Chain A
Amino acid sequence: GQNIDQPTEMTATEGAIVQINCTYQTSGFNGLFWYQQHAGEAPTFLSYNVLDGLEEKGRFSSFLSRSKGYSYLLLKELQMKDSASYLCAAMDSNYQLIWGAGTKLIIKP
């Protein structure tokens, strides 16, 4: 079957670094997406990986290992506005997204 696993909740301190892990199993694979969702709002796109390795975009980086079915999102220099849920989604062979339940990130001052 198709499945995405990520932690339910994480807590980190303002200014620190946090890594949110995601493992996936899909029928075929066309890439791994990370989205950010603030409470009461729509998900917004953060990153896309289809090849192994690290993609860096400002304070956010995303890593993919296709052989391990594993990805992580790395957030540096955490700010209070980074408090949100982070959604991992894998694209299957039909170009449909399979979504994880999301990781709620709590930032403490």
Chain B
Amino acid sequence: IAGITQAPTSQILAAGRRMTLRCTQDMRHNAMYWYRQDLGLGLRLIHYSNTAGTTGKGEVPDGYSVSRANTDDFPLTLASAVPSQTSVYFCASSDRLAGATEQFFGPGTRLTVL
């Protein structure tokens, strides 16, 4: 693996179903993030994790949950999907120990909830 990977690439999901988006990084970055990107809006932070074992809520956390059991993985779960969660989801990571550094993004997951 080089960088950040996300799975699946795209998914069509029935409303009410549970879905987990996967994110894995191999850069040993301590901080990881989940964003959603909708047309006409900036990237909006859903949840973040500054280090393994800790998580925090971002701007739009409702309906989503995350876990950070180890440094590399940061899955995002939709417990009961709704159509408003149709979006492109990006996972990102950064080396927070270095202070203000850039975030590196995964290729994204395009999710459609019907």
By a beta-carbon cutoff of 8 Å, the part of chain A in contact with chain B is 4, 8, 30-31, 33, 41-45, 48, 50, 87, 89, 91, 95-102
Contact = CB atoms under 8 A, between A and B. Distances in A.
A42 B100 contact: no
Interface stretch (B19-27, B66-74, B105-113): B105-113
7 interchain residue pairs of minimum CB distance? A99-B42, A42-B105, A45-B102, A99-B43, A30-B100, A101-B42, A31-B100
A69 B48 CA distance: 26
Contacts of B102: 33, 45, 48
A95 B103 CA distance: 11
Contacts of A43: 43, 90, 105
Contact of A42 (B45, B48, B58, B90): B90
Given A31-B100, A42-B105, A43-B105, A101 B40 contact: yes
Q: Determine which residue in A41, A42, A45, A87 has the highest number of CB atoms from chain B within 10 A of its CB, and name it.
A: A42
28 contacts: A4-B42, A30-B99, A30-B100, A33-B102, A41-B107, A42-B90, A42-B105, A42-B106, A42-B108, A43-B43, A43-B105, A45-B104, A48-B100, A48-B102, A50-B100, A87-B42, A89-B42, A91-B100, A95-B96, A95-B99, A96-B45, A96-B48, A97-B103, A98-B42, A99-B42, A99-B43, A101-B41, A102-B42
Range of interface residues on B (Cβ < 8 Å):
10 to 19
A48 B42 CA distance: 18
A43 B106 CA distance: 9
